[in-house]
Structure 1
Amino acid sequence: MIPRFTDHAANERTYLAWVRTAIAVMAFGFLLERFDIFLYYVTRSASQTHPVLHVRASEWLGLILLLFGALIILFATLRFYRNRTLITSEESTSYGGTFFERLMASSLIAVAVFLIVYVADEIFALN
């Protein structure tokens, strides 16, 4: 039997949850990076000109989300190995290292607010 198996299994499940989240963020970033194709067809059917600035914004935001997903995987891997070492350690330590989690959550909130404003601007531009 593996000592502290339940703790190791919980650590691995948490790691896999972070990886799934990162994959979802990266997929959304790829979708957003290709959002300019959707904007092209919508503005073409509405017989309006296609704003170049908004196309560049979706491309840059998509790239940022792709990089952000890669960073999530990197930080999750570092956290997994740190927790694995702490679980096998006989010493009692306090839980820490929430800086990256707070940074990632703040970044996701900022991206969500930007997307709300961005999509609202596009909707109002079509009217």
Structure 2
Amino acid sequence: MNNKDQSIANDQMANERTFLAWIRTGIGIMVFGFVIVKFSLFVNHLPSRFFQEPDLPKNVSTILIGIGLVLTGAITILLSYFRYKKTNQLLEQGKYLHSTVLLTFLTVVIIAMSIIIIAYLILASYPLK
């Protein structure tokens, strides 16, 4: 195997490692969302004697936040697949160009979800009466 072939193989393997890292990131985001939904459902099924207030409201916002995180993880995995395929194609053509579109998108979505979760936690800590 000559140096050019070795370089191409290294680039392809690096692309695969990056893709697998994105898959792990997407799965991690999805798991976090799943845990939020399951915990919310668990709390809603506890007997009311465990709470100071007799009526425990159904917490739809927690479920929506969890579903939003699961969707974010799924979108991350889908977009990382498209990025992997595009990068693979460009590497085969010898025309690879670096792109930060996926990173920018994911950063904006995760910051938005973080702000929503922080706002929810603040509002849940100080209920309006």
Query: Which TM-score applies when normalising by structure 1?
Result: 0.81
The aligned residue for residue 34 of structure 2 is: 30
The aligned residue for residue 9 of structure 1 is: 13
Unaligned 5+ segments in structure 1 are none
Identity %: 29
The aligned residue for residue 106 of structure 1 is: 108
* CA contact 1:29–1:63 (8 Å) conserved in 2: yes
Query: Which TM-score applies when normalising by structure 2?
Result: 0.80
Larger Rg: 2
The aligned residue for residue 18 of structure 1 is: 22
Computed over aligned residues only, the root mean square deviation of the Cα atoms, in angstroms, reads 2.2
The aligned residue for residue 57 of structure 1 is: 61
* CA contact 2:36–2:63 (8 Å) conserved in 1: yes
- Using the alignment, how far apart are the partners of 1:74 and 1:93 within structure 2? 21
Deviation at 1:93, TM superposition (A): 4.8
| 1:43 to 1:7, Cα distance in 2 relative to 1, 3 A | farther
Unaligned 5+ segments in structure 2 are none
| 1:15 to 1:93, Cα distance in 2 relative to 1, 3 A | closer
* CA contact 2:33–2:69 (8 Å) conserved in 1: yes
